Amino acid sequence: MASTAGARQLLRHPGAALGACGLAAVFAAATVAGRIAPDGHRRLSADFSQAPSLRHPMGTDAIGHDLFLQVLHGAQKSLQVAMVVTVLATVTGTTLGALAGYRGGWVDSLISRLTDLVLTVPVIVVLVVAAARLREQRESWLVIALLISVVAWPQTARVVRAAVLSVRERTFVSAAQALGASPLRILVVDVLPNAVAPIAVSATLTMATAVLLETALSFLGLGVAAPETSLGRLVATGQSAAGTRPWLFYFPGIVLVTMCVCVAAIGEGLRSALDPGRDDR
Amino acid sequence: MARFLIRRLLHSVPVVVVSSFLVFAMVAASGDPLAELRGRPGVSDATVALRSEQLELHKPVHERYLGWAGSAVRGDLGTSVGGEPVAPMVLRHLGVTLRMVLLAVVVGIAGALVVGVGTALRPRSVLDRAGSVLSMVLLATPVFWLAGLLKDVGIRFNELVGRTVVFTAGERSPATGASVASVVADRLGHLVLPTLTLALVAMAGWSRFQRAATIEVLNAPYVQSARARGLPERRVVGVHALRNALIPLTAVVATDFAAILGGAVLVEVVFAWQGMGRLLLDAVARSDVHVATGWLLVTASVVVVLNLLADLVYAALDPRIRNP
């Protein structure tokens, strides 16, 4: 019942649907391009530093790469990283947050201190230091995704812990305990379903963070490594040429910002749908 | 209050210790700090061995860390791979970065107050809706792209007016006039764009927060009673409402410090500043353990101190915290 009400609320916020469609469109375009021309983003042509044209919708770079294909490939890599991070960090964060909230005691202290650690240390240090060592692996985007997951889960853990703390005191939990249900069963069947709203919202926040961190690392030259490319790498290359060949900077940037806005719109829509009271404030 | 602050400080000690060890160990494992020295022509094996001895590279990581930590508590952060003392080096770079970050925080708070309170007074107006869309886009924009965008705009603006009004590279000109005024003008000219970048991103989140807090406070009974007593609206909003509406913002600003310092790393790269960001990236590239760990120690301390400052402001605004 709650979910149909939530779905109706979601429809009232077209931003979320638009955001989801936007992301799906980028991903679909990148997948199609990857099928038609698997090496398109790496192929060199004789058109050096060309402005956007029908042949090259986003122009070309100094050594003849087609920017449109590069942007599509980069967006795909960024989205892949974001999805892996969202799944890993949400599962880890939910598990540990639920444990901390339900168990309390030293488990709670340990997990809370870990969360503090991430909040005190600029995340970028951990990533920069770790990425410098690990990115020489073959599937560099997967390594980066794992790294970002390591720093991204505590946010979710914190949210889930707070939610579990409040649900734990409800009477239906006491009832389940009185019936002799195991702690695991209580957590999975009784407690977590009541924390779905904050988990969903925090998952979209994780996704946004993941895109920002991955592109930032790639921008610094520490993220997705050649021959793969990422929107961050493309912006870094285009940035020095912004004055003379603006397309190299603006096209990857605009696609990147659009993707981030789509993720933010989904989060915003979910939040208002799951917490309607918030809208009227 | 003093006890509260001391407890907060003590809480942050283990966090700093653990994180400094992690960074120490990760950088130590990341590569050979003497690779550059080895590659240089005319450097004998004896020189490399001596340097390796000085850096204690033969010892296990935890012993090296303990040795480093022992002197670090006495204020000595060791020497870089190049042999330069780390503490003065980090502090010099910190000064450059703090100039940008602190100004950005001040500008960000001021902007958030104006936009947040302004939109809260007219919720659902055109201005309010425009503000919420704009802040959503700004929040979603990667800071390095925003920096690049402002840099490009700055360069075009300079070309348009025919002289350099806002500088787009470096934190200072190589040579400035001798007078204090010209030095200040030069520094400010370099500060405009990087500060604006960081402030805009911070403002985007903070203004929405300030808006929500103000709307909530404006509906509180004590504000309605102030209105009922016939106080002018200016006084109701400016004095009665604002004070309580500032409390949540203080908390948010405090939790964002670490993120802003992280963002500053990227902004420095775009604007070619010789600040903490450059220092960290160079240290990591050279596997310079002492510089990277010194960086972390100093940055984490700054975050802790700024958080304490925020706690003090928090307590000044909310008497319940002062007398628990």
| pLDDT at position A83 | 93
Instruction: State whether residue B136 sits within 8 Å of chain A by CB.
Output: yes
CATH of the domain at B223: 1.10.3720.10
Cα A93–Cα B206–Cα A277 angle in degrees, nearest 5: 70
User: Measured between beta carbons, which residues in chain B are less than 8 angstroms from residue A253?
Assistant: 145, 148-149
HSE-CB at A96 with a 13 A cutoff on CA atoms is 24
Mean pLDDT of chain B: 86
Contacts of B152 in chain A (CB under 8 A): 242-243, 246, 249
pLDDT at A279: 44
SS3 content of chain A, % helix, strand, coil (to 5): 75, 0, 20
Separation of alpha carbons A272 and B12, rounded Å: 35
Give B148-159 pLDDT, tens digit per residue: 999 989 988 988
Which strand (E) or helix (H) includes residue B56?
A: none
Contact B142 A232 (CB under 8 A): yes
At CA A141, angle to CA A21 and CA A71, rounded to 5? 50
pLDDT at A1: 43
* ipTM, 2 dp: 0.84
Report the C-alpha gap between A204 and A86 in whole angstroms: 8
Exposure string of B150-170, with b = 16+ CB inside 10 Å and e = fewer, is bbbebbeeeeeeeeeebbbee
Enumerate the domain spans of chain A: 2-45+56-274
B15–A260 CB contact, under 8 Å: no
* Under 8 Å between Cβ of B250 and B313: yes
What does the alpha-carbon distance between residue B50 and residue B67 come to, in Å, rounded to a whole number? 18
Choose the closest CB to B296 out of A123, A125, A220. Answer: A125
Which range marks the domain in which residue B25 is found?
2-322
Q: How many domains does chain B have?
A: 1
| Residues B50-71, mean pLDDT to the nearest whole number | 83
Residue burial B257-269, b: 16+ Cβ < 10 Å; e: rest:
bbbbbbbbbbbbb
* pLDDT tops 70 at residue B262: yes
Residue with tokens 């029908």: A54
Whether the upstream peptide bond of residue B319 has omega within 30° of 0, thus cis, is no
pTM of the model: 0.86
Q: What residues of A are in contact with residue B281 (Cβ under 8 Å)?
A: 128, 220
How confident is the prediction along chain A (281 residues), in pLDDT tens digits per residue? Answer: 445 665 666 666 677 888 888 888 888 888 887 777 777 667 777 666 676 776 767 777 767 677 788 888 888 888 999 999 999 999 999 999 999 988 888 988 888 888 877 767 777 777 888 777 665 666 778 888 988 998 888 889 988 998 888 888 888 888 988 898 888 888 888 888 888 888 988 998 899 989 999 999 889 888 777 777 888 888 888 887 767 788 888 888 999 999 999 998 888 888 777 765 554 43
- A44 φ, ψ (degrees, to nearest 5): -100, 140
CATH tag, A2-45+56-274: 1.10.3720.10
Strand partners, B79: B85
Count contacts between A and B (CB, < 8 Å).
128
Q: Which residue of A has its CA nearest to B20?
A: A121
Question: Residue B85 in contact with residue B79, Cβ under 8 Å?
Answer: yes
Q: How many residues appear in chain B?
A: 324
Structure tokens at B227: 């209105």
Interface test with B, best of A136, A150, A239 (most B CBs within 10 A): A239
**B147: distance to nearest CA of chain A, Å?**
10
Between the alpha carbon of residue B216 and those of residues A7, A35, A204, B51, B240, the distances in Å are: 27, 52, 26, 62, 13
